[in-house]
């Protein structure tokens, strides 16, 4: 039987907090200490967000967290290899546009939270996702899938600090340093960054009619300011994953980082989107995904010559459902794993290279080839003399058979 502390909260001895050192999680750390009167373990994931993470260690120590209870883990390679690449093997896009940069990081963070809770004998985990957002669902579904008995503390569903301004006031009252005040004053953007993307929400973006400030974007230039000269990239694929860039073999996280830098220089990967959140509301966000945009285009190009037609169409049929699974937090579900098994089976033939041209916000495929798995047969596809490789008379019977039901229906209509 669970007991409660003097604040009426469930008695918790130790909690693992997903901690960035930013406004939300800095306030949450202090709030957990006051409300739950428990030990805090902080976990900060290096997902390639491009920011110095050691300040998070210093902030945690200043807040009273023990040195041995501060985890700052470099998970960049695992993130790209085991989460981003499998997702892109499926050509995953949510609602026709969103490349799921935030969504795909959440199952990895949930996994590490559960692992650290086990290592430190913590009896709870906590996160900074708001009660209006999708991330609370993703974190918690992932955590429960990996440890069905874990206790989860979601401060945004318990406290009354339900705005950025209230959070900043709380931080000021309790002497919590905040580094993210917008240069124009007021609360900062709600931002999330990792090696796949960076997202922006809040402020004037809450008006879907308002254009995003140019100064907001961090990874990319506007297409208008991109170089006047195009740049070509050769990307090699093995079993559906990119393995080299312009002939240089790279680890997954290195390759994605290079594509981000090059794509951002050419104004690639910006998105302004109103999406349908899992919790039922529409939400407007802006995203930068330069490397992912390039990878998606290139992957479809190599699949176009290596995948059987019906296999490719089956993948396209499954992709929206697969995308919804990731968006809605079901990465660790049996249905996602089952579809992933099928997808990965199809990728054993997706080997070869793709050449893309980057120019002022555009990714243009200019060539592709596979020496071992290409299904493109120029002797059949040619518009010149195919020397009998294809009998064009066969098309007549094919057309008549497929037209039979249409002709029957037309004859019936004409008789009525």
* Contact criterion met (CB below 8 Å) for 264 and 221: yes
- Check 26, 57, 135, 336 and give the catalytic one: 135
Among residues 57, 106, 203, 368, the one annotated as catalytic is: 106
pLDDT of residue 179: 64
At 133 the pLDDT is 82
Confidence at residue 278, expressed as pLDDT on a 0 to 100 scale: 79
- Angular region, 199: left φ>0, alpha ψ -120 to 50, beta rest: beta
Rounded to the nearest 10°, the torsion over CA 178, 184, 190, 195 is -90
In contact, 9 and 3? CB cutoff 8 Å: no
Record the tokens describing residue 135, joined without a space: 């991330």
Under 8 Å between Cβ of 252 and 77: yes
Distance CA 96, CA 377 (A): 31
Identify whether 81 is a catalytic site residue.
no
Residue ranges of E strands in 194-269:
198-201, 231-238, 241-245, 248-249
**Domain 198-369, what fold?**
3.90.1260
In three-state secondary structure terms, 234 is strand
Q: What is the pLDDT of residue 184?
A: 45
CB-based contacts of 260, cutoff 8 Å, min separation 6: 195, 219, 290, 291
Task: State which H helix or E strand residue 147 sits in.
Answer: none
Tens of each residue's pLDDT in the chain, 416 residues: 568 887 778 889 999 999 998 888 999 999 999 999 999 999 999 999 988 898 899 999 999 999 999 999 999 999 999 999 999 999 999 999 999 999 999 999 999 999 999 999 999 999 999 888 899 999 999 999 999 999 999 999 999 998 878 998 999 999 988 765 433 455 568 889 999 999 999 888 999 999 999 999 999 999 999 999 999 999 999 999 999 999 999 999 999 999 999 999 999 999 999 999 877 899 999 999 999 999 999 999 999 999 999 999 999 999 999 999 999 999 999 999 999 999 999 999 999 999 999 999 999 999 999 999 999 999 999 999 988 898 889 999 999 999 999 999 999 999 98
In our burial notation (b when 16+ CB lie closer than 10 A, e otherwise), range 182-217 reads: eeeeebbbbbbbbbbbbbbbbbebeeeeeebeeeeb
Active-site residue 73, yes or no? no
The DSSP-derived string for 62-126 is HTT--GGGEEEEE-HHHHIIIIIHHHHHTT--BTTTB--TTGGGHHHHHHHHHHHHHHHT-SEEE
Choose, from 103, 126, 190, 199, the residue flagged as catalytic: 190
**24 catalytically annotated:** yes
Q: Does domain 14-87+100-190 have CATH number 3.30.70.20?
A: no
Nearest-CA neighbor of 40 among 9, 74, 15? 15
CA 59 to chain centre: 28
Contact assessment for residue 202 and residue 132, using Cβ atoms and an 8 Å cutoff: no
Position 181 scores a pLDDT of: 45
Residue of 20, 24, 241, 368 marked catalytic: 24
- What is the structure's pLDDT at 401? 94
**What stretch of H or E contains 223?**
none
Distance CA(115)–CA(107), nearest Å, equals 12
Distances (CA, A) of 156 to 147, 159, 178, 260, 393: 22, 6, 19, 33, 68
End-to-end Cα separation, the chain, in angstroms? 76
């Amino acid at each position: 039987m669970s007991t409660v502390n003097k604040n009426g909260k469930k008695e918790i001895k130790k909690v693992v907090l997903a901690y960035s050192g930013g406004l939300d999680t800095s306030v949450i750390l202090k709030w957990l200490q006051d409300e739950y009167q428990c030990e805090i373990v902080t976990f900060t994931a290096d997902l390639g967000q491009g920011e110095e993470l050691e300040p998070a260690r210093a902030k945690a120590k200043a807040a009273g967290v023990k040195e041995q209870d501060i985890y700052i883990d470099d998970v960049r390679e695992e993130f790209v290899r085991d989460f981003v690449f499998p997702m892109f093997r499926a050509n995953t896009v949510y609602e026709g546009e969103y490349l799921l940069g935030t969504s795909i990081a959440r199952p990895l963070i949930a996994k590490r939270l559960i692992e650290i809770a086990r290592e430190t004998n913590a009896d709870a985990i906590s996160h900074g996702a708001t009660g209006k957002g999708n991330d609370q669902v993703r974190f918690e579904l992932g955590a429960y899938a990996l440890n069905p008995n874990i206790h989860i503390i979601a401060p945004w569903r318990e406290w009354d600090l339900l705005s950025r301004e209230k959070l900043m006031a709380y931080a000021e009252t309790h002497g919590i340093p905040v580094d993210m005040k917008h240069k124009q004053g007021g609360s900062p953007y709600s931002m999330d960054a990792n090696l796949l993307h960076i997202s922006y929400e809040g402020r004037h973006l809450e008006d879907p009619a308002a254009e995003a400030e140019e100064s907001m974007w961090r990874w990319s230039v506007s297409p208008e300011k991109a170089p006047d000269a195009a740049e070509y990239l050769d990307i090699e694929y093995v079993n559906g994953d990119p393995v080299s860039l312009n002939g240089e073999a790279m680890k997954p996280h290195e390759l994605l980082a290079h594509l981000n830098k090059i794509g951002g220089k050419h104004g690639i990967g910006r998105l302004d989107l109103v999406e349908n959140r899992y919790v039922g509301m529409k939400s407007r966000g802006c995203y930068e995904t330069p490397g992912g945009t390039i990878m998606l285009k290139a992957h479809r190009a190599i699949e176009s010559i290596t995948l059987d037609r019906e296999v490719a169409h089956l993948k396209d049929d499954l992709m929206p459902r697969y995308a919804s699974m990731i968006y809605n937090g079901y990465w660790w579900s049996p249905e996602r794993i089952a579809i992933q098994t099928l997808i990965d089976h199809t990728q054993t033939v997706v080997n070869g290279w793709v050449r893309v041209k980057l120019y002022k916000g555009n990714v243009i495929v200019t060539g592709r080839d596979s020496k071992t798995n290409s299904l493109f047969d120029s002797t059949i596809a040619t518009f010149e003399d195919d020397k009998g490789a294809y009998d064009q008379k066969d098309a007549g019977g094919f057309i008549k058979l497929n037209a039979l039901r249409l002709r029957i229906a037309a004859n019936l209509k004409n008789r009525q």
